[in-house]
A and B are shown apart, each in its own frame.
Chain A
Amino acid sequence: MTPHCRYVLRLADTNLVLAQRLGEWVGHAPALEEDLGLANVALDLLGQARLLLTHAGELEGRGRSEDELAYLREESEYLNLTLVEQPNGDFGDTITRQFLLDAWQLGLYESLSHSMDLKLAAIAAKGAREAAYHLRYSSGWLIRLGDGTPESHARVERSIARLWPYINELFDADEVERAVLAAGIGPDPATLEKNWSRRVDEVLAAATLARPAPAKFGWYGKQGRHSEHLGYLLAELQSLHRAHPGATW
């Protein structure tokens, strides 16, 4: 598999796994309106994941469809960021995870919309508009919770501390990202990080939350080495397809 294909698959898997996580909120969100809000974000991410998976299948050239890639790969073949497979926790954990990811994804898509891979550029241009709304939603909630009651502040502060160790992976470029950068396909991680930091610092300040120190340890879900949570998520995601191969609506 070429670095180009692996790179697109990483983006696809990150979206697919996060969409699945957000889908777990349906019927359980703190208010009906939030139920729909989270499901809307999940559907945007799922739509992007489908386009990206199809594109990755074409780049791979082995004739694998979006469904085959989504339903028939093992845990170690999934290349999503470790951040997005983390459990939903409470509403504040979910919002924090979403915010950290949205701030990254918006900058990523803005940059990818100028990619030499024209198909990826088109997907990113569409995704950027969706990501801009996602960030508006998640940052609005983070500010409300951080600058809310003493309890909401303390809880969301813990959410940030819990999720911060998964941030290193977003900007720690490996050979795949260096290869797509050299080919004019992917963005420069250093620029992404600057962009992300600016957005995150602005919202954390408004939310009266402090930015934690960088973690010393890094996760590498994007290389197929995952936390213990992904296997369970995939079991649920893939169970229907495995029980009824080729099932369609």
Chain B
Amino acid sequence: MNNRQEWPLYEIFIRAKSGLDHKHVGSLHATDARMAIEHARDLYTRRQEGVSIWAVRSADIVASDPAEADALFEPARDKVYRHPTFYDIPEEVKTL
């Protein structure tokens, strides 16, 4: 099969039994959505890692541009006041 490079790439997300969210675990090649789920099951849940699988075509993911990292993320650096660490917590609140 010399055309297997053409199999689309899928990103795989697995939700663990105790987890609330699906976490990215890796990627794989598959010809269609059904095969992506089956491959993900065989590749990423061999040791009972999960109870739910999401597969997303990598081409469908919109990503930020690393070249724009400065413009996107740098402006947040000097705004420490956005962290909720400047409040006095009332003594009555025990479990915050």
What residues of chain A have their CB less than 8 Å away from a CB belonging to chain B? 30-33, 36-37, 40, 133, 136-137, 140, 144
Chain B residue numbers with a CB within 8 Å of A40 are 42, 46
A33, B29: Cβ atoms closer than 8 Å = yes
Q: A140-B34, A140-B35 are in contact. Are A31 and B29 (CB under 8 A)?
A: yes
Closest Cβ of chain A to B50, distance in Å, is: 15
Smallest CB–CB gap between B19 and chain A, Å?
23
- In the A-B complex, list the 6 residue pairs whose CB atoms are closest, starting with the nearest: A33-B39, A30-B1, A37-B42, A36-B42, A40-B42, A31-B4
> Is the C-beta of B49 less than 8 angstroms from some C-beta in chain A?
no
A33 near B42: Cβ-Cβ < 8 Å? yes
- Whole-angstrom CA separation of A32 from B32 in the bound complex: 16
B60 to chain A, nearest CB (A): 19
Q: A30 touching B4 by the CB < 8 A rule?
A: yes
Q: Which of B37-73 contact A (CB under 8 A)?
A: 38-39, 41-43, 46
The distance in angstroms between the C-alpha atoms of A96 and B3, with both chains bound, is: 22
Q: Which residues of B contact A133 (CB under 8 A)?
A: 41
Contact A33 B30 (CB under 8 A): yes
Q: Which residues of B are interface residues toward A (Cβ below 8 A)? A: 1, 4, 7, 28-32, 34-35, 38-39, 41-43, 46
Residues of the A chain whose Cβ atoms lie less than 8 Å from the Cβ of B29: 31-33
Our count of residue pairs bridging A and B at CB distance below 8 angstroms stands at: 30
- Check B7–A137 contact: CB distance below 8 A: no
Give bound CA distance, A32 to B29, whole Å: 9
Residue of B nearest to A30 (CB): B1
Question: Would you give the shortest CB distance from A247 to chain B, in whole angstroms?
Answer: 27
Task: Using known A-B contacts A31-B29, A144-B31, determine if residue A37 contacts B38 with beta carbons closer than 8 Å.
Answer: yes
In the bound complex, what is the Cα–Cα distance between A33 and B39 (angstroms)?
6
Complex CA–CA separation, A140 to B32 (angstroms): 10
A-B contact pairs, 26 of them (CB 8 A): A30-B1, A30-B4, A31-B4, A31-B7, A31-B29, A32-B29, A33-B28, A33-B29, A33-B30, A33-B39, A33-B42, A33-B43, A36-B39, A36-B42, A37-B39, A40-B42, A40-B46, A133-B41, A136-B38, A137-B38, A140-B34, A140-B35, A140-B38, A144-B31, A144-B32, A144-B35
Q: Within 8 Å CB of B7, what residues of A? A: 31
B4 to chain A: closest residue by CB: A31
Starting from the known contacts A137-B38, A140-B35, A144-B32, 8 additional A-B residue pairs (CB-CB under 8 Å) come to A30-B4, A31-B29, A33-B43, A36-B43, A37-B39, A40-B42, A40-B46, A136-B38
Complex Cα distance A144/B42, Å? 19
> When chains A and B are docked, how far (Å) is the Cα of A30 from the Cα of B7?
12
Distance between B47 CB and nearest chain A CB, rounded to angstroms:
12
Nearest CB of A to B41, in Å: 8
User: How long is the Cα–Cα vector from A33 to B37 in the complex, in angstroms?
Assistant: 11
Query: How far in angstroms is the closest Cβ of chain B from A129?
Result: 13
Please give me the residue from chain A that is nearest to B7 by CB atom.
A31
Closest to B41 in A: A133
Closest to B32 in A: A144
